[in-house]
Chains A and B, each alone.
Chain A
Amino acid sequence: MRTIILCLLSYLALLSHAHAILTIEIVGGTEEGGQPIAIVPFGLQTTMSAPSQDIAQIVSDDLHRSGRFAIMPVHSLPEQPSDSNQINYSLWQAVGMPHLVIGRIASQVKNSYTVEFELFDVVKRQAMIGFRYTANKQSLREAAHQISDEIYQALTGERGVFSTKIVYVTLQRQGKKKQYHLYVADADGANPRLMLKTGEPIFSPSWSPDGQRIAYVTYDTNKRTKQMAVYIQELTTGKRTRISSKRGLNTAPAWSPDGKRLALTLSKDGNSEIYIINLQTRALTRLTRNSAIDTEPEWSPDGKSLVFTSDRGGQPQIYRISVNGGKAQRITFQGRYNARPRFSPDGRQLALLHNGGNGYQIAVLNLENRQLKKLSQTRLDESPSFAPNGSMILYTAGPSLSAVSIDGRVRQRLAEDMGGEVREPAWSPYFNK
């Protein structure tokens, strides 16, 4: 067995409990087709009191939300072993269960836990994987997500996203007063961490490729007027830097894959155009020249081109342009409104906001066969963002967030528990590549 010591990131200690948290509700989809799996409640060392986090439950929730698994309900489990020599394989075979997860938690020192789990192939009657983690009270949840990642990868062959994060904006209305918050939370909505609180709107949060910084837009206020500005904020220190506050628009920041440049929309020259700013030298390069609206740039994963929204053809559609400029090629032709493109991690698909006459919905455009597939069913959707493994898309649906598996099979709704609006989600990249 391999031992993984969880590094407790410094900011975890700064977590505040008073913040609104996102609550997740599975709203659609089916478990049919998901791989059956049994996750037995983890055994506890006899002398210890139960830890604050139910590891098996967190793992079950993670795997369930991925849409790839059908989790056996706890009350249906034929037995609840916590050690491999306790497993009666014929009981599991009798109920047709191919995979079984068991585990145990021990605590020798106060606020220090050892968590072990094993995944078994019931037919072969042998362990597939097994790991031991050392964690404290604050990192137990993270250990559970890492267990979910291991199981997901062992059984699907793909990397899991349970240890990643999301960033989003919330809006609380108190009469005429508005309060905007920028939060970073775990991918399941737990552990929200406040990044910014302001009375001014916050737009377009965007992760740096290394997951260490977030770019976003808000307004600077002074006596005479308000001015839009693009900021970059560091996750660990909270330090923020103003990147652009030109006259007019300063919107839609998008990181280059190498993290050294930011594409953004400025209207300093009179019309909304796409520019690239070198974050080291602050040199600005203009990419588009068109009297129409050009905005919402997004880099291709290879860094060679960008896609963006333009209404140069009379309606908003997606165009592609070389990072060196030149002529832009239109790439969406279906529907009267296609905007806010986001590349899938493999660069083969674009998630976008689509209106084909039935409201504003999230769709995925396959860039190889040009097929467009609608993934959302509501009419006022916005802001799609791919999970870093491409398995799910997170987006805004009215006052809450929704996540849908890329095959459309599983849907979940993430609402703010304090009744505010939550919007503009962006799924983080992997923190260790």
Chain B
Amino acid sequence: MIKMRDLVLILAVVVLAGCTTNKSIEKQNPAHKIPTSTPPPILGDTTMTQSVPCANPPCDSYGTAIGSQQDQSSSVDIPDRQIIYFDYDKDNIRPKAHLILEEHATYISNHPNAYIRLEGHTDERGSREYNLALAERRANAAKEVLLILGVFENQLVTISYGEEQPVALEHNEEAWQLNRRVELIYP
């Protein structure tokens, strides 16, 4: 199930990405506050593969977020961005997704009683069983990054939903990109 926060994020992403095809989502303009940091356009993400994570805040919004969270660790909220996205039939972590995972690693490391459920998803294309395996690989890829970033394994669980829980029901590239994802859920 998708939380309102996630929906807001997706909305923001869709709007900012300038996608005009996703009308059913755009119409539901939320009354809620859009996250202050600017989410990147998802579809342009593949062009970011050469960018290097910024070490020196405030050169981009993620760097700022990480730095500020480390300073006020115990009081800071669960990171806003709780979804990372993937390429078609791939499980490698995009640079942007890595930054989001870093935010969560920081948060969870400072909240030893919390845990994250990593829910892997694919788009609707292809075989249902293969997609269950692919979605699990995506969840495991996110888990591996979090482990490398110092998160304890007992704070992480993974589950695969394959193509079973799309957030966008259209049958086009924009919807498929929104659905190829791992959600970081704090149960």
Question: Which residues on A are within 8 Å of B, measured CB to CB?
Answer: 176, 201, 203-204, 224-228, 248-249, 251-252, 265, 267, 272, 293, 295-296, 309, 311, 315-316, 337, 339-340, 353, 355, 360, 380, 382-383, 423-424
Docked complex Cα distance between A382 and B127 (Å): 6
The answer to whether residues A380 and B128 also contact, given A225-B157, A249-B133, A295-B133 and a CB cut-off of 8 A, is: no
Residues of chain A contacted by B179 (CB below 8 angstroms): none
Task: Say yes or no for B32: interface residue by CB 8 A criterion.
Answer: no
Task: Say yes or no for B164: interface residue by CB 8 A criterion.
Answer: yes
B127→A251 contact, CB < 8 A: no
A339→B136 contact, CB < 8 A: no
What residue in chain A is nearest B165 (Cβ atoms)? A201
* Chain A: minimal CB distance from B113 (Å): 13
A382→B128 contact, CB < 8 A: yes
B124→A203 contact, CB < 8 A: no
Docked complex Cα distance between A382 and B123 (Å): 13
Residues of chain A contacted by B171 (CB below 8 angstroms): 380
Question: Which residues on B are within 8 Å of A, measured CB to CB?
Answer: 1, 89, 117, 124-130, 132-134, 136-137, 157-162, 164, 171, 187
Residues of chain A contacted by B130 (CB below 8 angstroms): 293, 295-296, 309, 316, 339-340
Can you give 8 contacting A-B residue pairs, CB < 8 Å? A224-B157, A225-B157, A249-B160, A293-B133, A296-B129, A311-B89, A316-B130, A423-B128
The answer to whether residues A204 and B128 also contact, given A225-B159, A293-B137, A295-B133 and a CB cut-off of 8 A, is: yes
* Chain B: minimal CB distance from A317 (Å): 11
What residue in chain B is nearest A423 (Cβ atoms)? B128
B127→A339 contact, CB < 8 A: yes
What residue in chain B is nearest A294 (Cβ atoms)? B133
Residues of chain B contacted by A360 (CB below 8 angstroms): 125-126
* Chain B: minimal CB distance from A248 (Å): 6
At the interface, is chain A mostly helix, strand, loop or mixed?
A: strand
* Chain A: minimal CB distance from B26 (Å): 20
Residues of chain A contacted by B160 (CB below 8 angstroms): 228, 248-249
Docked complex Cα distance between A423 and B158 (Å): 26
The answer to whether residues A340 and B124 also contact, given A224-B187, A267-B136 and a CB cut-off of 8 A, is: no
* Chain B: minimal CB distance from A174 (Å): 13
The answer to whether residues A226 and B159 also contact, given A252-B129, A293-B130 and a CB cut-off of 8 A, is: yes
B126→A316 contact, CB < 8 A: yes
The answer to whether residues A383 and B126 also contact, given A224-B157, A272-B136 and a CB cut-off of 8 A, is: no
19 A-B pairs besides A293-B130, A339-B127 with CB distance below 8 A are: A201-B161, A201-B164, A203-B162, A204-B129, A226-B159, A228-B132, A228-B159, A251-B129, A251-B132, A293-B133, A295-B130, A295-B133, A309-B130, A339-B126, A339-B130, A353-B127, A382-B127, A383-B128, A423-B128
Docked complex Cα distance between A177 and B116 (Å): 23
Residues of chain B contacted by A272 (CB below 8 angstroms): 133, 136-137
The answer to whether residues A380 and B125 also contact, given A224-B187, A225-B157, A251-B133 and a CB cut-off of 8 A, is: yes
Docked complex Cα distance between A340 and B128 (Å): 9
* Chain A: minimal CB distance from B165 (Å): 8
Docked complex Cα distance between A197 and B176 (Å): 28
Residues of chain A contacted by B125 (CB below 8 angstroms): 360, 380
Residues of chain A contacted by B126 (CB below 8 angstroms): 316, 337, 339, 353, 355, 360, 382
* Chain B: minimal CB distance from A307 (Å): 13
Residues of chain A contacted by B162 (CB below 8 angstroms): 203
* Chain B: minimal CB distance from A422 (Å): 13
* Chain A: minimal CB distance from B106 (Å): 23
Residues of chain B contacted by A226 (CB below 8 angstroms): 159
What residue in chain B is nearest A340 (Cβ atoms)? B127
Smallest CB-CB A-B distances: 10 pairs = A339-B127, A272-B133, A340-B127, A252-B129, A293-B133, A201-B164, A295-B133, A225-B157, A296-B129, A339-B130
Residues of chain B contacted by A340 (CB below 8 angstroms): 127-130
Docked complex Cα distance between A227 and B137 (Å): 16
Partner of A424, one of B117, B128, B133, B134: B128
Residues of chain B contacted by A265 (CB below 8 angstroms): 129, 133
B133→A380 contact, CB < 8 A: no
Docked complex Cα distance between A203 and B131 (Å): 12
Residues of chain B contacted by A295 (CB below 8 angstroms): 129-130, 132-133
Docked complex Cα distance between A265 and B130 (Å): 10
Docked complex Cα distance between A295 and B131 (Å): 10
What residue in chain A is nearest B139 (Cβ atoms)? A248
Docked complex Cα distance between A267 and B158 (Å): 12
Q: Which of B126, B129, B158 has the most CB of A within 10 A?
A: B129
Docked complex Cα distance between A315 and B125 (Å): 14
The answer to whether residues A293 and B161 also contact, given A265-B129, A315-B89, A382-B127 and a CB cut-off of 8 A, is: no
* Chain A: minimal CB distance from B123 (Å): 10
* Chain B: minimal CB distance from A362 (Å): 11
Docked complex Cα distance between A337 and B128 (Å): 13
What residue in chain A is nearest B169 (Cβ atoms)? A173
What residue in chain A is nearest B119 (Cβ atoms)? A226
B158→A248 contact, CB < 8 A: yes
What residue in chain A is nearest B135 (Cβ atoms)? A249
Partner of A203, one of B117, B132, B158: B132
Residues of chain A contacted by B187 (CB below 8 angstroms): 224-225
Docked complex Cα distance between A301 and B58 (Å): 64
* Chain A: minimal CB distance from B151 (Å): 16
Docked complex Cα distance between A360 and B128 (Å): 12
Residues of chain A contacted by B124 (CB below 8 angstroms): 380
Docked complex Cα distance between A359 and B129 (Å): 18
